[in-house]
Amino acid sequence: MAGHKGDEVPGKTLTYDDYLEMTEEPGYRLEILEGILVKVPSPSVLHQRVSRRLLRLLEDYFGGTDPRGEVFSAPLDTTLGNITVVQPDILFISGKQRDIEKETRIDGSPELVVEIISPTSRRKDRVQKMQIYQKAGIRHYWLVDPEEKTLECFGLRDGIYALLAVGLENDRVNHSEFAGLEIDLAALWARPGE
């Protein structure tokens, strides 16, 4: 990791303080997953399109159901303990969780985290981050895959993620725990004007 202050040292568990000392690298976002530095490539156009549309939908939905809550998008540091710093693509802090909202980061477990999968993040989002989010007690974890055109909505059940809603291609996804929220997948994937 040449070029970073606080370079990764073999066997050293990195912390949030180490993260704050790192310099940005063009074309990448940095995260620390359980003490290990991970470079995440900048999102693609498709990723950004899907993220923007889903963000707008969730802002409208939560604005009506939990007006004290707030939806955020990356890049925004989210610390889950001292050795994990992530930047979820989208996250929702409920009105009851406002205490985890700090000036420069979210410090604690959001109600909902959404990761938009890219070819380079598939394994990390589906396995590593899922385990981290589950352990942190994040109630809802959604995986959106624009290339496969799928949405998977997981929720904690007795401390383990269970698949609560799923859709693909042109499905309309309704989630049992978010009454009145319908996600039209065809609208997520479509290019402007289609």
Domain 43-189 carries which CATH code?
Answer: 3.90.1570.10
Write the pLDDT tens digit of every residue in 142-156: 999 999 999 999 999
Write the pLDDT tens digit of every residue in 79-137: 999 999 999 999 999 999 999 999 999 999 999 999 999 888 888 899 999 999 999 99
Instruction: Give the 3-state DSSP-derived string for the chain, with helices as H, strands as E and coil as C.
Output: CCCCCCCCCCCCCCCHHHHHHCCCCCCEEEEEECCEEEEEECCCHHHHHHHHHHHHHHHHHHHHHCCCCEEEECCCCEECCCCCEECCCEEEECHHHHHHECCCCEECCCCEEEEECCCCCHHHHHHHHHHHHHHHCCCEEEEEECCCCEEEEEEEECCEEEEEEEEECCCEEECCCCCCCEEEHHHHHCCCCC
**Boundaries of every domain in the chain:** 43-189
Q: What is the pTM of this model?
A: 0.91
